[in-house]
Amino acid sequence: MSTVVFLEHHEGELLKGALGVLAKAAALGDDSVAGFIAGADVEELAAEAGKYGAQVVYVADDPRLAAPLPQPRVDVLASLVRDEGFDTVLFGASVLAADVAGGLAARLEAGLNWDLVDLERRDGELVGKRPALGDSVYVDVGWRDGPRIALFRPGSFEPEAGGGEPSVERVEARIEDFSLAATMVEQAHEERTGPSIEDADVIVAGGRGLGAPEGFAIVEELAKALGGAVAATRAVVDAGWYPYASQVGQTGKTVAPKLYVAAGISGAIQHKVGMQSSNVIVAINKDRNAPIFEYSDLGVVGDVHEIVPKLTELVRERRGS
């Protein structure tokens, strides 16, 4: 069996989600685990991929791949999979990765299973695990034959450093005309400090219970003290209190950090599906009957405006900062 992992990158760094998938692929004990990097001036990322377990890194370095758009990547990856005979192609989910995986499935007439949280080998066959129907049931999914394509939910696997120097293979980018029809006019970036919510080990999330947009200041302070990222519910994003990129839930991101602190979040099902696979959940809410208390490890009934700043202070003391 031979696996290639789509290694997405942003501003000169490989994404943690993709590196986690690379670690998973290596742990499955494949004959060889390869990474695929597409972009412009990206060759130096290959060494980084090696550190995280890629034995071979295929690099498509081409100015036409500079913008993070899916269709040219489908062309190059489809040729690579065919030419090298890969039977498994794995992706850490993202806006870009989902579009590449979907296009690749059609191009190769290959099976795509999405939203997986795990992958294992059972009697020689790969079996994926997919939470479904609001994570109320876990479905074992498989593939008829190769190539098998999978998209993993963010936070499913931890990256593991400890690899070596990879062998780097340059890939020629043969791109179809229709794949170049969509063009990037402006690649914008929201101002952000600290890790993104996909990459963070700790997430502090705020909801309506913060009372006002200014209420997010206490959430930001706590996130900073814990070295984490800030997330928000759909209600407050819709209300314009916080940017969409931070939205967790059914219409936002699905995250699974080591610690999720929910401040002033009632935890309706739409939010729950985006964060319930977090390792440890701590919730603070003034309503004793808030649904979030049903699936938190520690629930605190109280006022976020009193508890969160105090907690921030204690965390700072404890961490000596």
Partner 1 sequence: MKVAVCVKHVPDAAAPRRFDPSSKRLDRSGEGTLNSFDVHAVEEALRIKDRDGEGEVVLVSLGPVGAGDSLRKALAMGADRGLLVSDDAAAGSDLVATSRLLAAALERENADLVLFGQQSSDADGAVLWAAVADRLRRPLLSQAAELELGDARVRAKRQTEFGYDVIEAPLPAVVAVSDAINEPRYPSLKGIMGAKRKPQDTLTAGDLGLAPDHVGEEGSATTVLAFADPPPRGDTTVIEDDGSAAEKIVDFLAERKLL
Q: Does 311 bind partner 1 (CB under 8 A)?
A: yes
Binding to partner 1 (CB under 8 A): which residues in 125-184?
127, 131-145, 151, 176, 178-179, 181-184
Smallest separation (angstroms) from partner 1 to the CB of 213: 18
Smallest separation (angstroms) from partner 1 to the CB of 171: 19
Q: Which is nearer to partner 1, 55 or 285 (CB)?
A: 285
Q: Does 110 bind partner 1 (CB under 8 A)?
A: yes
Out of 5, 76, 100, 231, the only residue in the binding site for partner 1 (CB under 8 A) is: 100
Which token pair is 309? 């700043």
Cα separation of 118 and 21, whole Å?
10
Select from 110, 139, 108, 145 the least CA-distant residue to 126. 145
> Greatest CA separation found in the chain?
61
Specify the DSSP class assigned to residue 287.
-
Smallest separation (angstroms) from partner 1 to the CB of 51: 23
Q: Does 66 bind partner 1 (CB under 8 A)?
A: no
Q: Does 79 bind partner 1 (CB under 8 A)?
A: no
- Could you give the C-alpha distances from 37 to 99, 104, 142, 154, in angstroms and in order? 16, 15, 26, 19
Out of 107, 169, 208, 305, the only residue in the binding site for partner 1 (CB under 8 A) is: 107
Q: Does 65 bind partner 1 (CB under 8 A)?
A: no
Q: Is the alpha carbon torsion for 215, 218, 224, 229 positive or negative?
A: negative
Q: How many residues bind partner 1 (CB under 8 A)?
A: 92
Q: Could you check whether the bond before residue 131 is cis, i.e. omega within 30 degrees of 0?
A: no
Cα separation of 88 and 25, whole Å?
10
Smallest separation (angstroms) from partner 1 to the CB of 123: 11
Burial pattern 199-222, b for ≥16 Cβ within 10 A else e, equals: bbbbbbbbbebbeeeebbebbbbb
Out of 88, 196, 233, 266, the only residue in the binding site for partner 1 (CB under 8 A) is: 196
Q: For the chain, give the number of residues.
A: 321
Q: Give me the 6-25 binding string for partner 1, x by CB under 8 A, dash otherwise.
A: ----x---------------
Q: Does 193 bind partner 1 (CB under 8 A)?
A: no
Q: Does 185 bind partner 1 (CB under 8 A)?
A: yes
Q: Does 214 bind partner 1 (CB under 8 A)?
A: no
Q: Which is nearer to partner 1, 188 or 214 (CB)?
A: 188
Q: Does 302 bind partner 1 (CB under 8 A)?
A: yes
Smallest separation (angstroms) from partner 1 to the CB of 131: 6
Count Cβ atoms below 10 Å from residue 52 Cβ, excluding itself: 25
Cα separation of 74 and 8, whole Å?
13
Cα separation of 23 and 14, whole Å?
13
Q: Does 249 bind partner 1 (CB under 8 A)?
A: no
Q: Does 3 bind partner 1 (CB under 8 A)?
A: no
